[in-house]
Structure 1
């Protein structure tokens, strides 16, 4: 009986630890641009406390609310800038953003369409 209780508690503990640990990998976007683990983690670590209200910032979160073309996201999802790519003429051609829900969960990484603004023709970047 005691071992069953111990195993049950251990199982619950492991599940709760898995839920807390956010596994962030590299992301490869449509134009073969790779966003590194370090960059995603750095931006996520900046965004999460702000979204959760643990840190005050000078600009309101309403400006970071994602209202783009991607479906299936939580009602309140915010975007945080990650990086951009340029063409041979040093023109920004694609931008990359981290999407995070209001409860601090990483939703993924997206890229804008070629020479498009955020929200017009966004696509998901896949985990590499």
Structure 2
């Protein structure tokens, strides 16, 4: 097997695992949306958790300065067609997209991690963490 064949095989395996995660792993539309935004927009989970419904307007995802890491200010990312299906399924109201139980604060990354771990267990994926969803 040459390098290109190995890359192709690795890519196919990764895509299959992601597909399994979204079809068998995540149980709720909210959980699917959370990790779909992280995956398709290559955002950190903490950036996704801070999003509001208003940040998803006009076919772009807007990451405000306070939610990004480093020197980058507010940035906008295009919404991907596959992401539209997850948005339609969850139909987020105004305000925080992923609030804690009391609704006043965003869900924490520590609370998102067990969601992903349980989904990976159901999809029979080992070694995954919330860091896998940030491709920067």
TM-score > 0.5 by shorter chain:
no
Q: Which has the larger radius of gyration?
A: 1
Question: TM-score, normalised on structure 1?
Answer: 0.30
Question: TM-score, normalised on structure 2?
Answer: 0.29
Higher share in strand: 1
Higher relative contact order (CA 8 A, sep 6+): 2
